[in-house]
């Protein structure tokens, strides 16, 4: 667990002060959300029961954290905060960088001074190579990036390639040899490239990108932390733990991408809410990935489903290894799919706040990935032996829909200001 991700707060402190949750406060071991919509949304995403306030209907609700005893930190008056809050702090930091940039140079989102003329040829080759890798592994997304400005497009490729390489460390052909030390080395390479000392040409492309855009290093570190999590654990006690994993391996991609994709100059939404939507897309994608791959993961001895929710549904790892679709399983899957869809819905609201040219690839990937959930339903929830996939015809059909939606002006009701 990276140190930077472990924050502790005094149990009675107002979270609105330390985390910027305009509408949430902590009371002892419970999170209290005082906003009606936030309360409803978060309580179902986090699968916890809202409790009515003493006097008002929805004015205050308590989110009960059953594993609170495991969250108690070293001293009696301090408790570790939930994953959602830890992640939210990264969102706040990244949003603050963007706000600062908007204040200092509202019309300029790239710093052109940093390109060194002598290195331009090499850099351009490095970016081209990133483009080739992106085209090979993420065709649809690559096509979408072609709509972006050349600077943004190549920066997105550089980020994509770094994420892919990071993922390959634990999922690629050499994964069985990977050790925590190798991940530590990968992290020090990351620190170096952020300091302008790239190790190879692909790192050089990212080094240039992070010099040009206000991309914070923390999501990159957190992604490496996600790989460490994969090395050390194969079970997730509850959604709080799973949420942190999903943030590390996928939500981080959303946070890294927004500074490059850019927020529309006419957007009225706060940068925090746009980053929050980007985070939601990463989480939604990863939850979908997990639900699609239940059987495949089980064959590798892994269960990425919250253990407490499985138990509440009367299920256990044994049922997953047995791979039988029962009514209990269907009910359980329905609730998991519902939660994933809520994250997609939240993400969708943020897409229209992005720069116009960045919307289409994001919409396309959102629609395509969300359809995997429909396919799991169409397979009668058999994600043990059937891989849910979106066929070519549906993929092609999604592209113009995504394109049309990306042209629709922002909704009159902007994302919540935080
Ligand atoms: C919504 C707003 C405001 C911005 C968008 C911000 C972005 C680009 C978010 C995207 C996040 C993202 C792409 C996360 C990766 C998630 C994921 C599970 C990828 C799966 O990758 P693979 O493992 O290669 O997938 P397959 O197994 O399906 O091939």
Domain match, 226 and 347 both: yes
Q: State which ligand 1 atom lies nearest to the alpha carbon of 141.
A: 13
Measure the CA–CA gap between 333 and 316, rounded to whole angstroms: 13
Q: Which residue has the higher pLDDT, 300 or 36?
A: 300
Atom 22 of ligand 1 has which residue's CA nearest to it?
Answer: 289
* Residue 113 pLDDT exceeds 50: no
Taking the C-alpha atoms of residue 408 and residue 387, their distance in angstroms, rounded to an integer, is 33
- Domain with 25, as residue range(s), is 3-81
Query: Within this chain, do residues 266 and 188 fall inside the same structural domain, yes or no?
Result: yes
Q: Are 230 and 319 members of one domain?
A: yes
For residue 235, count other CB atoms closer than 10 A to its CB.
Answer: 15
The per-residue pLDDT for 23 is 32
153, 66: one domain: no
Task: Answer whether residue 417 is part of any domain.
Answer: no
Backbone angles phi, psi at 415, to 5 degrees: -60, 150
How many independent structural domains does the chain possess?
2
- Phi-psi category of residue 80: left, alpha or beta, with phi > 0 → left and psi -120 to 50 → alpha: beta
Which domain CATH number covers 302? 1.10.600.10
300 and 391 assigned to the same domain: yes
Of 61, 81, 101, the residue at which a domain comes to its end is 81
Distance from residue 254's CA to the centre of ligand 1 (Å): 8
Residues 305, 288, single domain; the answer is yes
CB count within 10 Å of CB 404 equals 11
Question: Which ligand 1 atom sits closest to the C-alpha of 253?
Answer: 11
Is 414 domain-assigned? no
For residue 288, the ligand 1 atom closest to its alpha carbon is: 18
Instruction: Clarify whether residues 71 and 109 are in a common domain.
Output: no
Ligand 1 centre and the CA of 366: distance in Å?
8
- Calculate ∠ Cα 314-320-323, nearest 5°: 115
Q: Is the pLDDT of residue 418 over 80?
A: no
Q: Is the CB of 140 under 6 A from ligand 1?
A: no
| Best residue for ligand 1 mutational test, from 158, 170, 226, 282 (most atoms within 8 Å of Cβ) | 282
Mean pLDDT of 146-160: 94
Short-list 303, 334, 406, 414, CA closest to 363: 406
CA dihedral 99, 203, 153, 290 (to 10 degrees): -80
Say if 226 falls within a structural domain: yes
Measure Cα distances from 57 to 16, 21, 52, 65, 67 in Å.
21, 21, 6, 21, 26
Query: What span, in angstroms and rounded, lies between the C-alpha atoms of 163 and 186?
Result: 12
Mean pLDDT of the 91-108 span: 80
The verdict on 29 and 12 lying in the same domain is yes
pLDDT tens digit sequence for 123-137: 999 999 999 999 999
Predicted pLDDT of residue 42: 57
Q: Does residue 418 lie within any of the structural domains?
A: no
> What is the rounded CA–CA span in Å between residue 385 and residue 304?
16
Domain assignment present for residue 252? The answer is yes
Q: d(Cα 259, Cα 129) in Å, to the nearest integer?
A: 22
Do 44 and 147 share a domain, yes or no? Answer: no
* Cα 155-158-163 angle, rounded to 5 deg: 130
Answer with the one of 42, 57, 81 that is the final residue of a domain. 81
- Does 262 contact ligand 1 (Cβ within 6 A)? no
Q: Is residue 412 part of a domain?
A: no
Query: Could you give the dihedral angle defined by the CA atoms of residues 368, 227, 276 and 130, in that order, rounded to the nearest 10 degrees?
Result: -60
Q: Is residue 69 part of a domain?
A: yes
CA-274 nearest atom, ligand 1: 3
* Span 243-255, pLDDT tens digits: 999 999 999 999 9
Shared-domain flag, residues 112 and 193: yes
Higher-pLDDT residue of 56 and 413 is: 413
Quick check: is 201 in a domain? yes
**239 or 411: which carries more pLDDT confidence?**
239
Helix boundaries (H) for 55-195:
83-104, 120-137, 139-145, 150-171, 180-194
- Assess whether 187 and 58 both reside in one domain: no
Domain boundary among 56, 81, 106: 81
pLDDT of residue 118: 55
Cβ–ligand 1 distance for 269 under 6 Å, the answer no
Task: Count how many residues are written for the chain.
Answer: 418
Question: Based on the domain organization, do 25 and 104 belong to the same domain?
Answer: no
């Amino acid at each position: 667990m990276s140190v930077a991700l472990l924050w502790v707060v005094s149990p009675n402190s107002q979270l609105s002060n330390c985390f910027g949750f305009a509408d949430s406060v902590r009371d002892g071991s419970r999170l209290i959300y005082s906003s009606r919509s936030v309360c409803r949304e978060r309580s179902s995403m986090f699968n916890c029961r809202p409790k009515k306030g003493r006097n008002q209907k929805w004015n205050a609700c308590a989110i009960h954290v059953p594993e609170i005893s495991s969250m108690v930190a070293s001293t009696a008056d301090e408790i570790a905060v939930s994953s959602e809050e830890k992640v939210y702090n990264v969102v706040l930091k990244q949003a603050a960088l963007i706000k600062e940039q908007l204040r200092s140079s509202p019309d300029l989102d790239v710093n052109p001074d940093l390109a060194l003329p002598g290195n331009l040829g090499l850099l351009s080759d490095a970016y081209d190579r990133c483009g080739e890798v992106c085209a090979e592994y993420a065709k649809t997304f690559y096509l979408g990036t072609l709509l972006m400005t050349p600077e943004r497009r190549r920066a997105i490729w550089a980020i994509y390639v770094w994420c892919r390489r990071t993922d390959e460390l634990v999922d690629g052909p050499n994964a069985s040899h990977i050790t925590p030390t190798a991940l530590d080395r990968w992290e020090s390479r990351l620190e170096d490239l952020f300091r302008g000392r790239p190790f190879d040409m692909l790192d050089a492309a990212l080094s240039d990108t992070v010099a040009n855009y206000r991309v914070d290093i923390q999501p990159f570190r957190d992604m490496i932390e996600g790989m460490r999590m994969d090395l050390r654990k194969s079970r997730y006690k509850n959604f709080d733990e799973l949420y942190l994993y999903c943030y590390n391996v996928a939500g981080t991609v959303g946070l890294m991408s927004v500074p490059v994709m850019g927020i529309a100059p006419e957007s009225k939404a706060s940068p925090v809410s746009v980053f929050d939507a980007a985070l939601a897309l990463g989480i939604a994608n990863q939850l979908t990935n997990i639900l699609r791959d239940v059987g495949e993961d089980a064959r590798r001895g892994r269960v990425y489903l919250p253990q407490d929710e499985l138990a509440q549904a009367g299920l256990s790892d044994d049922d997953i290894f047995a791979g039988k679709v029962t009514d209990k399983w269907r009910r359980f899957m329905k609730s998991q799919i519902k939660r994933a869809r809520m994250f997609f819905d939240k993400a969708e609201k943020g897409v229209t706040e992005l720069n116009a040219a960045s919307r289409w690839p994001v919409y396309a990937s959102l629609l395509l990935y969300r359809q995997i959930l429909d396919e799991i339903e169409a397979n009668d929830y058999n994600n043990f032996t059937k891989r849910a996939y979106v066929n070519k015809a549906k993929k092609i059909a999604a592209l113009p829909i995504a394109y049309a939606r990306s042209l629709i002006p922002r909704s009159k009701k902007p994302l919540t200001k935080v």
